[in-house]
C-alpha cells in the first residue's frame, strides 16, 4: 500500500545496492523462464543454414511455442529446455546488475547537473523524492549509457548462450557447427573454444545489433518512468502492482519496436563452419529480407513476448523486493516505505 504522508522518506539506495538487487532479479527471471528463450532463439534461426556445414532437419519444423516445447522435450529431453542456462544466468546477473547500477548512477549525475543550488547533494541523498523529475529524454539517455556499458561486458556470454541453445547431442552445434559431436560442453568450454577458433572478434559477433538493441532498454526504461508517473496520479509513490503492470507494458512496447534487430543478432551469433566469412549486420538483414520478407524479421516473436512480459514482471518485482529487504536490514524504522516504488 502507499505510505501515509507521515511516513519517513525512503533512504537513497547506493549503486552497490541497486546492482545487487538488479543482479538477483535478473538471475531469478532467467531461471524461471529460460525454456521460452530456448524456443525463441531456435525459431529465430530455423531456415537459416550455413551452406558450409551439414544441418539436421530437427531444427527447422517449429511452428508454435507449445509445439516447440513439446518437440524439444520429446526428442532431446527436458534438459535441452535449459541448454545455455549457465551463461544466461551469469549474463543476466551481470547485465541487470550493471544496468540498474549504471542507470541509477547516470540519473543521479544528470539530476545533480540540472539541480538548482537550493537542492544540495546531501539533501538529495537524504530524500531523493524531492529531486526534480527527469524528462523522457533524460531517462532515454541514461538508459542508453547503461545499456552500452552492459554490452561490452556480456556479449561473449550471449554468443555462447545462443550456440548452446542451438546445439544438441549428435548435431553439429545446432546452427552451423562442425559435425561430429557437441562443440560446446558448457559455459567455460564454450568461451575457450570460441576464443581459440574465432578470436576476440568471434566473442563480439552480434555486437553491432546488440549496440542497436541498447535502444530496447532505453525505450523500455523511458516508457517505464513515464508509466510510473502516470500511474502515480500525483502521488509520490506507486504500488507494487502498478509497478509490475508498468514494467510489463513498457517491455511490450520496447520488444515490438526492436524485435527485428534481435533476430539479426541471433543469426549473426549462430555458429558457422571454421574459416567461413563473418556476417555483417547489413548483409544479414538483406539476406533475410530476400528469403522471408518482413515476416522473417518477426520470426519467434510469439515465445519472445510470452517470455519477456512475465520476465519483466518478475525482474521488477524481485528487484523491488530485494531493495525492500535491504531497506529493512539497514533502516528498520523505514519499513513502511518499502512496499511502494518511488516515481
The pLDDT value recorded for residue 251 is: 92
The pLDDT value recorded for residue 220 is: 92
Measured distance CA(74)–CA(58) in Å, rounded: 12
Domain membership flag for residue 309: yes
Domain membership flag for residue 194: yes
Taking CA atoms, 62 is separated from 38, 41, 258, 287, 329, in Å, by 12, 11, 23, 21, 48
pLDDT band at 23 (very low <50, low <70, confident <90, very high): very high
Domain membership flag for residue 76: yes
pLDDT greater than 60 at residue 236 = no
Domain membership flag for residue 337: yes
The pLDDT value recorded for residue 237 is: 63
Cell of 35: 525454456
- Looking at per-residue pLDDT, the higher value among 163 and 237 belongs to 163
pLDDT greater than 50 at residue 241 = yes
Cell of 42: 531456435
pLDDT band at 116 (very low <50, low <70, confident <90, very high): low
Cell of 55: 544441418
* Number of domains present in the structure of the chain: 1
Please state which of the ranges 135-144, 177-186, 318-327 shows the lowest mean pLDDT.
Answer: 177-186
Measured distance CA(177)–CA(161) in Å, rounded: 14
The pLDDT value recorded for residue 84 is: 84
Domain membership flag for residue 27: yes
Measured distance CA(111)–CA(124) in Å, rounded: 9
Cα end-to-end distance, the chain, whole Å: 14
> What is this structure's pTM?
0.68
pLDDT band at 252 (very low <50, low <70, confident <90, very high): very high
pLDDT over 70 for what percent of the chain? 76
Instruction: Please report how many Cα atoms fall inside a 13 Å half-sphere around the Cα of residue 113, on the Cβ side.
Output: 8
Domain membership flag for residue 278: yes
- The per-residue pLDDT of the chain, averaged, comes to 78
DSSP string, 176-219: TPPSSS-S--SHHHHHHHHHHHHHHHHHTTTHHHHHHTHHHHHH
Domain membership flag for residue 8: no
Domain membership flag for residue 9: no
Taking residues 204-228, what's their average pLDDT?
86
Instruction: For 93-106, write each residue's pLDDT tens digit.
Output: 988 999 999 998 99
The pLDDT value recorded for residue 11 is: 59
Cell of 172: 553439429
pLDDT over 90 for what percent of the chain? 17
| Parent domain of 238 | 15-342
The pLDDT value recorded for residue 113 is: 85
User: In this structure, what CATH number is given to the domain that contains residue 143?
Assistant: 1.50.40.10
DSSP string, 58-101: GGG---SHHHHHHHHHHHH-GGGGGTTHHHHHHHHHHHHHHHHH
Taking residues 76-100, what's their average pLDDT?
89
Instruction: For 37-79, write each residue's pLDDT tens digit.
Output: 888 888 877 765 554 433 444 445 788 888 999 999 998 889 9
Amino acid at each position: 500500500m502507499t505510505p501515509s504522508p507521515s511516513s519517513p522518506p525512503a533512504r537513497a539506495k547506493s549503486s552497490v545496492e541497486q546492482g545487487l538487487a538488479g543482479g538477483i532479479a535478473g538471475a531469478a527471471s532467467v531461471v524461471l523462464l529460460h525454456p521460452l528463450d530456448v524456443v525463441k532463439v531456435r525459431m529465430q534461426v530455423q531456415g537459416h543454414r550455413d551452406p558450409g556445414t551439414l544441418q539436421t532437419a530437427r531444427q527447422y519444423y517449429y511452428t508454435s511455442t507449445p509445439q516447440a516445447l513439446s518437440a524439444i522435450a520429446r526428442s532431446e529431453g527436458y534438459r535441452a529446455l535449459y541448454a545455455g542456462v549457465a551463461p544466461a544466468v551469469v549474463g543476466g546477473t551481470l547485465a541487470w546488475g550493471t544496468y540498474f547500477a549504471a542507470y541509477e548512477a547516470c540519473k543521479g549525475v544528470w539530476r545533480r547537473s540540472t539541480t538548482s543550488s537550493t537542492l544540495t547533494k546531501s539533501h538529495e541523498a537524504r530524500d531523493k523524492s524531492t529531486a526534480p523529475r527527469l524528462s523522457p529524454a533524460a531517462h532515454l539517455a541514461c538508459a542508453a549509457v547503461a545499456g552500452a556499458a552492459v554490452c561490452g561486458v556480456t556479449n561473449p556470454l550471449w554468443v555462447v548462450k545462443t550456440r548452446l541453445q542451438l546445439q544438441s547431442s549428435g548435431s553439429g552445434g545446432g546452427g552451423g557447427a562442425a559435425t561430429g559431436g557437441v562443440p560446446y560442453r558448457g559455459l567455460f568450454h564454450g568461451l575457450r573454444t570460441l576464443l581459440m577458433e574465432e578470436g576476440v572478434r568471434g566473442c563480439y559477433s552480434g555486437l553491432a545489433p546488440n549496440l542497436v538493441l541498447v535502444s530496447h532498454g532505453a525505450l523500455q526504461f523511458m516508457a517505464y518512468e513515464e508509466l510510473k508517473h502516470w500511474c502515480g496520479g500525483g502521488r509520490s509513490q506507486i504500488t507494487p502492482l502498478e509497478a509490475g503492470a508498468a514494467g510489463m507494458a513498457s517491455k511490450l512496447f520496447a520488444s515490438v519496436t526492436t524485435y527485428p534487430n534481435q533476430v539479426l543478432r541471433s543469426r549473426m551469433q549462430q555458429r558457422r563452419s571454421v574459416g567461413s566469412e563473418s556476417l555483417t549486420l547489413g548483409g544479414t538483414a538483406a539476406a533475410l529480407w530476400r528469403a522471408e520478407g518482413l515476416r522473417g524479421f518477426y520470426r519467434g516473436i510469439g515465445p519472445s513476448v510470452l517470455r519477456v512480459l512475465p520476465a519483466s514482471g518478475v525482474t521488477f518485482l524481485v528487484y523491488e523486493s530485494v531493495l525492500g529487504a535491504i531497506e529493512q536490514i539497514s533502516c528498520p524504522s523505514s519499513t513502511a516505505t518499502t512496499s511502494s516504488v518511488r516515481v
